[in-house]
Structure 1
Amino acid sequence: MFAAASRAMSQVFEPQFRKIFLKMLGFTLAVLLVIWIALQGLVAGFVELPYPWLETVLSILTGIGAVIGLGFLIAPVSALFAGLFQDEIADIVETRDYPQDAPGKAMAVIPSIILALKFTGIVLLGNLFALFLLLIPGINLVAFFVVNGYLLGREFFEFAATRFMPVEDAKRLRRAKSGTVFMGGLVIAGVLAVPILNLVTPIFATIFMMHLFKRVQANAPI
């Protein structure tokens, strides 16, 4: 498990994957910048205060609040764009690390977009739920890892598996290996929990789960 995770993390920063990361990051920052400008414009256009200094203070506070809020959105927005590159990432892993195996089948464009949207929604909802639980002392950190470990493990493992088998077979395999998949999800959640490093989470998770699926498929020790 941890050997596969270490291998995946080292590959994230290799040139082929770094190019994908830079494209994903560019799209993500562009979207967040547009949202930030729109929020600033809304506040400036709809809130009128009697004193100029109050408007300045409100603008500063809005900017700070927006940065904090958009920081929360980095993971789901980057997940959306990373989802569009998942098959490209998987192809690279297969070609480089498993050239002797039959290649997986990439998803069609529309199902790929649907999967990306689904995954983004799951990450967003999972983090909202975890954020809510942060208010409850004693279970906040555990809740974050349990929620994200389950969701991330399930989605990324099923993505890897469906490249080689029908969706229903992939779901059955995931259920049969639920403990392994959940542990893999916890590893991904650990990366997601680290600021800055969480930007590479979708790429790391795709590479990692490709390695994990290959080991499960080969009945190799995890």
Structure 2
Amino acid sequence: MIEAYRLAIAQLRDPRFRRPLWIGIALSVALLFVIYAFVLLLVQLLIPGALFLPITGQVQGLGSLFSFGSILYLLGLSVFLMVPVASVFTGLYLNDVADTVEAEHYRGLDPRNSVPFRESANDAMRYFGLLVALNVLGMGVFAVSNGWGLILLWLVNGFLLSREYFTMIARRRHAPDAARALQKSHMFRLWLPGIVLAAGLSVPVLNLVMPLVGAAVFTHMYHRLYKPVPSPDL
């Protein structure tokens, strides 16, 4: 795991990473604003009138979306909201990241499967709703648990993210059922890298690059865990 993260972070300097990196950051910021706008809309519906919060003062529905204080709260909420954003990222640019990693570190591989974009997007969105609900709930648990709720979220998010990232990486070279079976057979070895990814996604600003790092890490994990059985000599 440590080596996978070291290689993934080192490759951030690769020019081939620049396009998915900057597009990923832009999409992450945009998705954060969309989810945050939804949260403000709920505030507006559930708490009529203005809500007064520390530091920022008055927050009044969507009209506060682009205020300075609102940006500060967006950074704080990104501790919880970047996990579902990372889930969406896997369906959009995971193949580009994995291709770049394999071109650098695993040359000579057979051509990968051509996974339809619709399949990748559907797989990503399947986790998105669950992760949004889980992490919005986690905000409340965090508020009443003296911070221990965040550790619980790392454990749960780490499991879900490791399952999603690894399965989608494996799908590039296996049938869907085989990819899921491979993930299940290494479930516990993949959980710790997933927890590290979930923890990184809870650090404001750093979490903007963590979806790309996660895709690279689980590409390395796949190639370290999958040992193809050689064909018998005829």
Q: Indicate the TM-score class for this superposition, using the shorter chain for normalisation.
A: 0.7 to 0.9
| Residues 163-182 of structure 1 aligned to structure 2 (within 5 Å) | 163-182=172-191
Show CA shifts across 1:101-144 (max 9, x none): 22321310211221232243343233224323212247323202
Q: Distance in 2 between matches of 1:90 and 1:12?
A: 13
Match of 1:161 in 2: 170
Query: Structure 2 vs 1, CA of residues 132 and 166 (structure 1 numbering), >3 Å: closer, same or farther?
Result: farther
Paired amino acid for 1:96:
E
Deviates more, 1:168-177 or 1:30-39: 30-39
1:64-79 paired onto structure 2 within 5 Å: 64-65=69-70, 68-69=73-74, 71-72=77-78, 73-77=81-85, 79=87
Equivalent residues of 1:191, 1:197 under 8 A apart = yes
State the 1:82 CA deviation.
Answer: 5.0
Describe how 1:20-99 pairs up with structure 2 within 5 A. 20-30=20-30, 57=58, 62=64, 63=67, 64-65=69-70, 68-69=73-74, 71-72=77-78, 73-77=81-85, 79-99=87-107
- CA deviation after TM superposition for structure 1 residue 80, in Å: 2.2
Does residue 126 (structure 1) correspond to residue 118 (structure 2)? The answer is no
Deviations 1:122-168 (A, max 9, x none): 43233224323212247323202211111111111111111111222
Tell me how far 1:29 sits from its aligned partner: 3.3
CA distance in 2 between partners of 1:36 and 1:140 (Å)? 21
Closer, same or farther: CA 106–68 of 1 in aligned 2, 3 Å: farther
- Going from structure 1 to structure 2, the CA distance change for 1:13 and 1:151 (only over 3 Å counts) comes to farther
Distance 2:91 2:108 in 1: 26
> Matched residues in 1 for 2:36 and 2:96: separation?
30
**Residue of structure 2 equivalent to 1:52:** none
Distance (Å, rounded) in 2 between the aligned partners of 1:124 and 1:35 = 9
Alpha-carbon shift at residue 48 of structure 1 (Å): 8.5
Check the 8 A contact 2:82/2:202 in 1, yes or no: no
Task: Name structure 2 gaps, 5 residues minimum.
Answer: 51-56, 229-234
2:145 counterpart SS class: coil
Alpha-carbon offset, residue 24 of structure 1? 2.1
Quote the Cα distance in structure 2 between the aligned partners of 1:167 and 1:105. 11
Pick aligned residue for 1:110 from 115, 118, 121 = 118
Q: Which runs of 4+ in 1 moved over 4 A?
A: 30-40, 56-61
Cα shift at 1:192: 1.2
Please state how far the C-alpha of 1:216 moved relative to its aligned partner.
0.3
Cα offset, 1:35, TM superposition: 7.5
Distance in 2 (CA, whole Å) between partners of 1:25 and 1:207 is: 15
Paired positions, count: 209
Identity value in percent? 27
Asked whether the 8 Å contact 1:149–1:187 carries over to 2, the reply is yes
Q: Pick the structure with more helix per residue.
A: 1
- Structure 1 unmatched ranges of 5 or more: 50-55
Q: Does the CA contact (< 8 Å) of 2:36 and 2:74 recur in 1?
A: no
Query: How far did residue 205 of structure 1 move?
Result: 0.9
Contact 1:93 1:207 in 2 (8 A): yes
Matches of 1:136 and 1:57, distance apart in 2: 26
Question: For residue 194 of structure 1, what is the aligned residue in structure 2?
Answer: 203
Q: CA, structure 1 residues 174+100, in 2 after alignment: closer, same or farther (shift >3 Å)?
A: same
